[in-house]
A = this chain, B = another copy of it.
Amino acid sequence: MSQDAHPPAPARRRDSAATRAAILKAARETFTQRGYDGAGLREIANAAGADTRLIGRYFGSKEGLFAEVVDLAYEKSMMMTPEHNAEAARTLLTGEGGAQADGLLLTLRSASNPRAAAIMRDSIERNYQRRLADALPGTDTTGRSAVLIAICAGVLLNRLLLGHTALNGPDTERLIPYLHAALDAVAKVPQSAGGEK
């Protein structure tokens, strides 16, 4: 790492930390938009105003860069606890996919690559899912949080990636109660242990 002196910090024209951050930001945007395979290192470097070779220098490889991006993208993600499910359902069906959905969007577009999938699985289980499981009531919060994440990912996939017509019309709001109920069915503690009619 760079040994930036604590007191002075004289705005150097050659700032490795700044270029590293610029690359990371550009990589996050490009990966989220094009997916792991679809994003080229030259495209990322160009968007960051940096040289392609610097990516290899600072992040080792494309996978290394991707891993850092994934961890970053899942820092702030939507919660699907009973008290947040109304908002989550609305965001999933009508939201533009801001920072709360960036992680899932990145995952959807990169899931086809096995290496990228392994990286994302690790990050999700280590960060996002753990956070969600801790906020969930009841038992088996780990498994239920996985199902909740899956549902959200599926909705985003159909709406934003596939552009499903039924999920992109101006009256998509009418589906919010259904999705809300589906999320609650997993997030809330079961009312009756066995089953229902």
A residues contacting B by CB (< 8 A) are 34-35, 37-38, 107-113, 117-118, 120-121, 124-125, 129, 140, 142-147, 149-155, 157-159, 161-167, 172, 174-175, 177-179, 181-186, 190, 195-196
Chain B residues with CB under 8 Å of A110's CB are: 112
Main secondary structure of the interface of A (DSSP, over half): helix
Q: How far is the CA of A129 from the CA of B158 in the complex (A)?
A: 12
List 17 A-B residue pairs with CB atoms under 8 Å apart, sorted by A's residue number. A37-B37, A111-B112, A112-B112, A112-B161, A117-B162, A118-B163, A121-B162, A121-B164, A121-B165, A125-B164, A147-B155, A150-B155, A150-B157, A151-B182, A153-B154, A154-B157, A181-B185
* Nearest residue, chain B, Cβ from A121: B162
